[in-house]
Amino acid sequence: MDWLEELKAAFAQEFAQAADGAALEQLRVKYLGKNGRITKALAEPGGAASAEALLEIRKELNTLKKAAGAEISVKAEQLRQSAIDAAELQTPRYDTSLPLRLEKGSYAPITLIQREVEAIFESMGFTVEDYAEVTDEYNCFEALNIPPYHPARDMQDTFYLENGQVLKTHTSAAQNTIMRKYGAPLRAVFPGRCFRNEAIDANHDNTFFQMEGMMIDRDISISNLIYFMKIMLSEVFGRPVKVRLRPGFFPFVEPGFELDINCLICGGEGCPSCGHSGWLELCPCGMIHPNVLRHGGIDTEQYTGFAFGLGLTRLAMMKYGIKDIRDLNSGSLKVLAQFV
Ligand code: PHE
């Protein structure tokens, strides 16, 4: 049967060309799905001269169906495995139990990741801003729609200095200053060290790093936010990473989200670094609240914007496979030696 040979050849050719999981899935639907070419042919095999011929065609079609399904599954698994292997090759080995061999100095992992993320955002037209570690309550809270006695302050208890200043609890503390400095439109990232009164464990420290990002312009929406986050994360990890958005509350964004990434240390199975959930909260984000824009002198009739607070410390832990956050501020040469 000509059409049967054609069908086989068409499948073989498209199968050879399918280079990733998504393409294979499309192929499965196209040939084996409910309205797939093979499925349809089986239902109505045309052109058989006799009942015997019909039987023969059905047999061949069934063989083709089985073989196609199996080939697709095998190739999909192979592709998945080689993606994992490639990713593993790229992930530097982090093992502080190895004997210390330090012939020269190294950058700290946070510095490395910070520079990398800065370069990615710079390439997308963002400027990199510097901001003080000691600030005041206005910048850290009030300008961000967190008035005195607002319960949101509880989660961000910090070191209060005698002169009324505070050690900043998040890089969002720079939002107001940067809006005042540039006005709209604006694209900026600002990395920084943050401080909170935390119960310390493998995943929490009183001193950690974030990188804030803000983009303000006409017609900025959540799609812009998701786009920039995805580009950034896939650049950092050198492969597409799984993310999920959950609603999250922060007084300075509306709507607000928690962007989680699949834990790359355990692959989503659950480990101490991800609190056994398989996901790591990496990047709270959202659309900047109009009150915050107004505090920054931005015309809310004309402009909207998004902001995110990337956990640089978490990102470094993910990227380098650092299981205990306390390694990072330990000053241990065994830690630094991993990054020479
Ligand atoms: N500043 C918030 C925090 O550290 C994170 C955040 C930044 C949330 C920007 C939304 C937008 O918890």
What is the C-alpha separation between 187 and 168, in angstroms, rounded? 22
Geometric angle at alpha carbon 261, from 172 and 77, rounded to 5°: 160
Is any ligand 1 atom within 6 A of the Cβ of residue 284? yes
pLDDT of residue 239: 73
Q: What confidence tens digit (pLDDT) does each residue in 115-153 have?
A: 999 999 999 999 999 999 999 999 999 999 999 999 989
Would you say domain 109-336 falls under CATH 3.90.1150.10?
no
Is any ligand 1 atom within 6 A of the Cβ of residue 213? no
Task: Report domain extents, the chain.
Answer: 2-90, 109-336
The backbone torsions φ and ψ at residue 312, rounded to the nearest 5 degrees and listed phi first, read: -65, -40
Instruction: For the full predicted model, state whether its pTM sits above 0.75.
Output: no
Tell me the CA–centroid distance for residue 308 and ligand 1, in Å.
Answer: 6
The pLDDT-based confidence of 309 (bands split at 50, 70, 90) is very high
What is the C-alpha separation between 213 and 124, in angstroms, rounded? 12
Q: What confidence tens digit (pLDDT) does each residue in 72-85 have?
A: 999 988 888 887 77
Is any ligand 1 atom within 6 A of the Cβ of residue 308? yes
Residue with the smallest CA separation from ligand 1 atom 7 is 309
State which amino acid sits at residue 63. Answer: T
Instruction: Classify residue 306 by burial, with Cβ atoms within 10 Å: 0-12, 13-18, 19+.
Output: buried
What is the C-alpha separation between 283 and 237, in angstroms, rounded? 15
